């Protein structure tokens, strides 16, 4: 009997130990789950990167970029892009970062931003968009990614999980370990891209570039062959939506005059007023893009305090005749443009200037309002 009793007591003790160990494991799992839920719910400010952290990381990655891809050996081009970029940075929400804007020697149509103020433009993109206005739109877009810390926010989302993993694995896979250039330049979300588009429009327009610059760039990029992969714009259905949104931003900002047309003819108009249409392709710019460019330059005149119809002049240009307001080149007209209207290029220039004078009278008849209603 004593042995039987002892056996029963031993089995009972074993069951109790098993019960206690399973209970303890369950309690530990519940506690760990609650801890995870609490940890993940902490505000991102707990592990947010400081501006100096962002700059330091950006500097390291910029060195790696320039080690892998050479810079264009054209000091004039590098200075031009740097000048455009700094002009945009001054009107941004983060003007105090140590910005650098550089051109990479690659035919790829691309540009990208590294956190901390480092922006790179490929030579292939500059070939596609040769004007300062178009470059300002693209650089302003990349600047938008830095201003809104898009890449940093994506990294911070993963940082909380990295910290948790480090705690659960006793220090392995520590914070920021494995951050690579590929992660920094990962595809942004559609919302991030659209926000950067809007900021590209804002930055370029506020810096004094054409308000149509961003739209011109988006339309060019949206027409790149679908087989060509560009981080800027490889999703064609989304490209059309981004073009539509940019036209909406222009309308909301009351940008005028307006533009209509296609690859064969581009027209600048406002109400019943219309500038004689562009029909020639000049230096790779189609009639529609020439119309966008002209409309952007004419819009800049609305910023002048003493706009006058007496200041328009015509002057010979390599491609035809340049139309100026004082010393500001608005656009160039060609023999082909004039031929469509059965006029010589000089007579056509006179017709264009008369039309611009009528536009000035139209502006002077409007109630006083801010021309840069952004």
Are residues 135 and 96 located together in one domain of the fold?
yes
**For 161, what's the count of Cα atoms within 13 Å in the CB-facing half-sphere?**
4
Provide DSSP, 170-224.
Answer: TT-S-TTTT--HHHHTPPPPHHHHHHHHHHHHHHHHHTTS-TTHHHHHHHHHHTS
Are residues 338 and 214 located together in one domain of the fold?
no
- List the alpha helices (DSSP H) in 261-344: 287-301, 335-340
Are residues 289 and 318 located together in one domain of the fold?
yes
What local confidence, expressed as pLDDT, does residue 173 receive?
A: 39
Contacts of residue 162, defined as CB under 8 A and 6 or more positions apart, other chains included, come to: 173, 174, 175, 176, 177
Q: Dig out the tokens for 314 from the structure.
A: 């015509």
> Phi and psi at residue 288, in whole multiples of 5°?
-65, -45
What local confidence, expressed as pLDDT, does residue 299 receive?
A: 96
- Last-in-domain residue among 253, 284, 313: 253
Integer angstrom CA distances of residue 341 from 288, 331, 337? 17, 18, 7
What local confidence, expressed as pLDDT, does residue 319 receive?
A: 84
Are residues 247 and 283 located together in one domain of the fold?
no
- Last-in-domain residue among 232, 253, 274: 253
Contacts of residue 351, defined as CB under 8 A and 6 or more positions apart, other chains included, come to: 276, 341, 343
- List the alpha helices (DSSP H) in 49-114: 51-68, 75-89
Are residues 29 and 88 located together in one domain of the fold?
no
Are residues 214 and 231 located together in one domain of the fold?
yes
Contacts of residue 122, defined as CB under 8 A and 6 or more positions apart, other chains included, come to: 103, 104, 106, 107, 108, 109, 110, 111
Residue recorded with tokens 């494991």: 25
- Last-in-domain residue among 253, 275, 290: 253
Are residues 24 and 111 located together in one domain of the fold?
no
Which domain does 19 fall in, by range?
1-41
pLDDT in tens, the chain (374 residues): 555 545 555 555 555 555 455 655 555 455 545 544 544 454 554 446 788 888 988 898 899 899 999 999 999 999 999 999 999 999 999 999 999 999 999 999 999 999 999 999 999 999 999 899 999 999 999 999 999 998 888 776 654 445 444 444 444 334 443 444 444 545 688 899 999 999 999 999 999 999 999 999 988 887 775 444 455 654 445 778 889 999 999 999 999 999 999 889 999 999 999 999 999 999 888 999 999 999 999 999 999 989 999 999 999 988 899 999 999 999 999 999 999 999 999 999 999 999 999 999 999 998 865 444 44
What local confidence, expressed as pLDDT, does residue 46 receive?
A: 44
First CA to last CA distance, the chain:
96
- Residues shown for the chain: 374
C-alpha–C-alpha distance, residues 157 and 204, integer Å: 30
C-alpha–C-alpha distance, residues 323 and 284, integer Å: 19
What local confidence, expressed as pLDDT, does residue 101 receive?
A: 98
| Residue 138 · residue 200 · CB < 8 Å | yes
What local confidence, expressed as pLDDT, does residue 155 receive?
A: 72
How many independent structural domains does the chain possess? 3
Are residues 245 and 260 located together in one domain of the fold?
no
Are residues 114 and 102 located together in one domain of the fold?
yes
Q: Dig out the tokens for 253 from the structure.
A: 């900002």
Are residues 97 and 205 located together in one domain of the fold?
yes
Are residues 23 and 76 located together in one domain of the fold?
no
Strand ranges of the sheet holding 266-270, from the earlier edge strand across to the other edge = 258-261, 266-270, 273-274
Are residues 206 and 82 located together in one domain of the fold?
yes
């Amino acid at each position: 009997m004593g042995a039987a009793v002892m056996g029963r007591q031993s089995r009972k003790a074993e069951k109790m130990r098993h019960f206690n160990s399973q209970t303890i494991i369950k309690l530990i799992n519940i506690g760990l789950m609650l801890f995870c839920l609490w940890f993940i719910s902490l505000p991102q400010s707990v592990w947010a990167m400081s501006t100096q952290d962002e700059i330091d990381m950006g500097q390291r990655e910029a060195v790696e970029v320039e080690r892998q891809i050479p810079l264009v050996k054209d000091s004039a081009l590098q200075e031009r892009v740097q000048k455009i970029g700094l002009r945009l940075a001054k009107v941004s929400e983060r003007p105090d970062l140590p910005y650098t804007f550089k051109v990479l020697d690659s035919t790829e149509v691309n540009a990208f931003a590294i956190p901390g103020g480092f922006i790179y433009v490929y030579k292939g993109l500059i070939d596609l968009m040769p004007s300062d206005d178009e470059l300002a739109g693209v650089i302003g877009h990349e600047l938008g990614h830095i201003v809104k810390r898009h890449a940093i926010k994506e990294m911070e989302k993963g940082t909380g999980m990295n910290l948790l993993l480090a705690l659960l694995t006793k220090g392995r896979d520590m914070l920021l370990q494995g951050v690579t250039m590929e992660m920094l330049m990962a595809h942004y979300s559609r919302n991030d891209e659209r926000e950067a588009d809007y900021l590209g429009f804002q930055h370029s327009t506020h810096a004094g570039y054409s308000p149509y610059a961003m739209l011109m760039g988006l339309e060019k990029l949206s027409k790149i062959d679908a087989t060509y992969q560009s981080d800027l714009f490889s999703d064609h259905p989304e490209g059309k939506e981004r073009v539509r949104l940019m036209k909406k931003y222009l309308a909301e900002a009351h940008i005028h005059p307006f533009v209509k047309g296609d690859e064969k003819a581009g027209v600048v108009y406002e109400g019943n007023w219309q500038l004689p249409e562009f029909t020639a392709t000049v230096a790779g710019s189609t009639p529609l893009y020439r119309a966008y460019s002209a409309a952007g330059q004419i819009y800049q005149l609305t910023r002048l305090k003493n706009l006058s119809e007496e200041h328009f002049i015509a002057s010979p240009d390599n491609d035809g005749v340049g139309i100026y307001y004082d010393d500001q080149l608005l656009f160039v007209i060609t023999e082909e443009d004039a031929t469509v209207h059965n006029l010589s290029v000089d007579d056509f220039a006179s017709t264009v200037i008369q039309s611009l004078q009528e536009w000035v009278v139209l502006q002077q008849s409007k109630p006083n309002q801010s021309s840069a209603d952004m």
